[in-house]
């Protein structure tokens, strides 16, 4: 193996490790829905890391210094964003109202360069299928759409009807792709025999027939069966 290949491998691993460390310092916000500033920081860091990888010389001190400066700049501006509304407005812009009381704000649609079709798609993603049901739709600084439906269009909640409810808790995985997750049975408060009985109640003969099963609430078992094609491939073995 030539020195060039070895050098490239070492530089790539070093650049990747260094970028990973910096990304951990910057936090999860950088990889979530990005604001303008987050996007610029991400692109700049990616460019610097890429240049460091393909540079014919060793991972230079200038590349390291540039990455450190970008990281420090990002942390510094994030701090200033918390302290100053003006700086936050400069770096992250402001939320924009696209729908008000069931009517599309045409001027703001033009400013954000969003089509009506894109707006309707984003509203459907928020379970708002009718423009007439929307009181406000606001494009946030990270590009996401927040939707507030009109009060008379919201579903009635148990709290409004004075109905007491209990938390269902998190669903615990007990079968994944036909395999029993025995280590999760104890935390779910059940055993293998209980799972067998519950499967039989739902006319499931074998663990291998189940694509997914989880326990939630007061020991309720939810099952998602495999398709018939998957069952035919695996065959029928019976619960042991």
Show me where the domains of the chain are located: 1-89, 96-153, 172-225
pLDDT band, residue 24 (cuts 50/70/90): low
Give the CA radius of gyration of the chain.
27
Report d(CA 139, CA 109) in Å as an integer: 10
Predicted pLDDT of residue 180:
92
Percent pLDDT > 70 in the chain is 70
Secondary structure letter of residue 170 according to DSSP: P
Whether pLDDT at 196 is above 90: yes
* Cα 11–Cα 16–Cα 22 angle in degrees, nearest 5: 125
Whether 172-225 and 96-153 are alike in CATH topology: the answer is yes
Burial of residue 1, with CB atoms counted within 10 A of its CB: 0-12 exposed, 13-18 middle, 19 or more buried = exposed
Complete edge-to-edge strand list for the sheet that includes strand 145-149: 103-104, 96-100, 134-139, 145-149
Q: Output the DSSP codes for 134-160.
A: EEEEEE-TTS-EEEEE-GGGSPPPTTT
Predicted pLDDT of residue 239:
41
Which one of 21-25, 137-141, 166-170, 236-240 scores highest in mean pLDDT? Answer: 137-141
Task: Please give the helix or strand (H or E) that residue 104 lies within, else none.
Answer: strand 103-104
pLDDT average, residue stretch 33-51: 70
172-176/210-216 β-pairing: antiparallel
Report d(CA 240, CA 237) in Å as an integer: 8
**Topology of 172-225 in CATH?**
CRO Repressor (3.30.240)
Residue 62, helix vs strand vs coil = helix
Give 86-143 pLDDT, tens digit per residue. Answer: 777 666 668 899 999 999 999 999 988 888 999 999 999 999 999 999 999 998 877 7
The verdict on domain 96-153 having CATH code 3.30.240.20 is yes
Predicted pLDDT of residue 140:
86
Whether pLDDT at 16 is above 70: no
């Amino acid at each position: 193996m030539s020195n060039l290949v070895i050098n490239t491998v070492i530089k790539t691993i070093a650049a990747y490790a260094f970028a990973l460390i910096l990304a951990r310092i910057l936090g999860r916000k950088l990889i979530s829905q990005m604001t303008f500033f987050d996007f610029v920081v991400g692109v700049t860091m990616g460019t610097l890391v890429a240049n460091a990888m393909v540079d014919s010389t060793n991972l230079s001190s200038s590349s390291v210094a540039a990455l450190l400066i970008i990281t420090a700049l990002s942390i510094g501006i994030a701090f200033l964003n918390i302290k100053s509304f003006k700086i936050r407005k400069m770096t992250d812009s402001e939320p924009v109202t696209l729908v008000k009381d069931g009517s599309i704000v045409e001027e703001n649609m033009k400013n954000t360069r969003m089509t009506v079709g894109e707006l309707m798609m984003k509203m459907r993603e928020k379970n708002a299928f009718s423009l007439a049901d929307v009181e406000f739709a606001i494009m946030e600084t990270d590009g996401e759409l927040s939707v507030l439906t009109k009060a008379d269009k919201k579903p009635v909640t148990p709290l409004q009807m004075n109905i007491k409810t209990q938390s269902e808790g998190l669903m615990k995985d007990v079968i994944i792709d036909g395999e029993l997750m025995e280590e999760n049975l104890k935390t779910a408060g059940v055993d293998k025999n209980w799972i067998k009985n519950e499967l039989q109640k739902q006319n499931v003969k074998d663990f291998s027939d189940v694509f997914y099963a989880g326990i939630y609430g007061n020991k309720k078992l939810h099952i998602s069966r495999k398709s018939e094609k998957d069952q035919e491939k695996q065959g029928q073995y019976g619960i042991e």
